[in-house]
Amino acid sequence: MSEPTKLLFVCLGNICRSPTAEGVMRHIVEQEGLADRFELDSAGTGSWHIGEAPDPRSTAHAEARGIAIGGKARQVSSADFDHYDLILAADEFNFRDLRSIAPTDELETKVKMLREFDPMSTPDDLDVPDPYYGGPNGFDDVIDLVEAACRGLLDSVLSETV
């Protein structure tokens, strides 16, 4: 049995977008009977929400689609760059922050924009917009965007193109 593919989803606070992405990806791989082939986690570039559960708005919008999200917020660490195969940034700020804290140039190449894996995305529009200060639609949009990206990510991992 080969090692699981280890994926870390990263946003700013680790209470909205990245726990949603982690939960959506877990939901997809469980549906596909592939859960044992993946190790999934999420983290934030910031430290403000360490130890907190996901934002209740994220939890409610995910639950309405039958997707469970959970865990406690944590900050990304340099050890994550060794451990994970891919580190998936929710937006361009997260991407730049992650690249700047990567311990080596080689480990920096593990950092990708999550929406790069959405076959319908375009290179000039790869952000998952931060829903924190907006209305409820933003939380639904996050789920739509991360779901399309996670399905593409699964296809890429299965076809070993990443």
Q: Give the footprint of ligand 4NP on this chain (CB under 6 A).
A: 11-17, 48, 130, 132
- The residue sitting closest to ligand 4NP, measured at its beta carbon, is 13
Please say if 16 is a catalytic residue: no
**With helix as H, strand as E and coil as C, how does the chain read?**
CCCCEEEEEEECCCCCHHHHHHHHHHHHHHHCCCHHHEEEEEEECCCCCCCCCCCHHHHHHHHCCCCCCCCCCCECCHHHHHHCCEEEECCHHHHHHHHHHCCCHHHHCCEEEHHHHCCCCECCECCCCCCCCCCHHHHHHHHHHHHHHHHHHHHHHHCCCC
* CB of residue 22 to ligand 4NP, shortest distance in Å: 11
Active-site residue among 11, 41, 57, 150? 11
Query: 12 with 130: CB under 8 angstroms?
Result: yes
The residue among 119 and 134 lying less far from ligand 4NP, judged by its C-beta, is: 134
The residue among 12 and 102 lying less far from ligand 4NP, judged by its C-beta, is: 12
* CB of residue 55 to ligand 4NP, shortest distance in Å: 7
* CB of residue 94 to ligand 4NP, shortest distance in Å: 8
Active-site residue among 17, 26, 57, 115? 17
The residue among 23 and 157 lying less far from ligand 4NP, judged by its C-beta, is: 23
* CB of residue 123 to ligand 4NP, shortest distance in Å: 22
The residue among 37 and 74 lying less far from ligand 4NP, judged by its C-beta, is: 74
Please say if 85 is a catalytic residue: no
CA 49 – CA 38 distance, rounded (Å): 26
Please say if 130 is a catalytic residue: yes
User: Annotated active-site positions, please?
Assistant: 11, 17, 130
